Amino acid sequence: MKVCIYGAGAIGGYLGVQLALSGADVSLVARGAHLAAMKANGLKLLIGGEERVAQPRCTDNPAELGVQDFVIICLKAHSITGVLEQMKPLLGPNTRIVTAVNGVPYWYFYKHGNQLEGTMLESIDPGGRQWRELGPERAIGCIVYPATEIEAPGVIKHVYGDKFPIGEPSGEISADCERLSKVFEAAGLKAPVLDRIRDEIWLKLWGNVCFNPISALTHATLDVICSDPATRALAKAMMLETQAIAESFGVKFRVDVERRIEGARKVGAHKTSMLQDLERGRPMEIDPLVTVVQEMGRLTKIPTPAIDAVLGLVIQRARVAGLY
């Protein structure tokens, strides 16, 4: 079984080392100094006080790799449309695409089962290119819970977590998902197959929709955002708007909003991914984490005043920094 990780950054690199050391037939698509370091010295993972080094096949030319059984997309969501042409040589008639990305994936309304069935979301899939060129029928959802960092080119640091829940848009427990889950498990990772993958998408997005943009606006860490009365109240207001939208689609949240905020507070002085991107001068994941929720609010006619205000501010912040 051939697995390609498209985007071997912090998460993709972590997956790549674990899969390669377990004996999986895995290849990585990367670029720049990170790719050069991997080719020269292998890919190093710092985890649990030890170093693990793997030598997976890695390239910046996917055409070298041929058709894959699974393509795991670990890019920032706003980068996917720009690499669709390069990705096509990896895709055969039975290739599955695993969307290990933050936010709402392009296939969200595929086999959704209500009046929005087949709806394409412009904020995350401009012009519907991912839907048309990758195909929603190929998709397997994947939620990324581990935290990892690129310590240096070719070096990944694992911070915490090993869980990657997966699931079919239809909710069926498919043979493909079971095969992929076993590959992850053999690599020491947890990849439970869920029959309600969208519930898990929203549970993670519930925090990202508010904590990420608030942190980019205030430069505050999670513990501060969740402890300060003003930012905590703003986060809660955004989360309640998000919850109303999700529940209109039949999504079920397994925790309440206060418990979700407390969970984030206990993470401590952690900088969100959006704040890290801002500080490093990289484009922020505004659209897949925030704009898409606003778009879904418009589709459902559910008002989102708190999200609208914060979204407007963070877009302006990004524009000033030349990152949007």
What are the backbone dihedrals phi and psi of residue 137, each rounded to the nearest 5 degrees, phi first? -70, -20
Q: Which residues pair with 97 in a beta bridge?
A: 71, 139
Q: Which residue has the tokens 């950054």?
A: 9
Active-site entry in 39, 190, 204, 236: 204
Structure tokens at 305: 């005043």
DSSP state, residue 57: E
CA 181 to chain centre: 18
Q: Is 204 a catalytic residue?
A: yes
- Rounded CA-CA distance 111/93 in Å is 20
SS3 76: coil
Amino acid (one-letter) located at 283: P
Instruction: Give the containing element (helix H, strand E) for 26.
Output: strand 25-29
DSSP state, residue 193: B
DSSP 99-165: E--SS--TTTTTT--STTTT---TTTSGGGHHHHHT-GGGEEEE----EEEEEETTEEEEEE--B--
Amino acid (one-letter) located at 74: C
| E strands, 30-114, in order | 43-47, 50-54, 57-59, 70-73, 96-99
Q: Which residues are catalytic?
A: 204
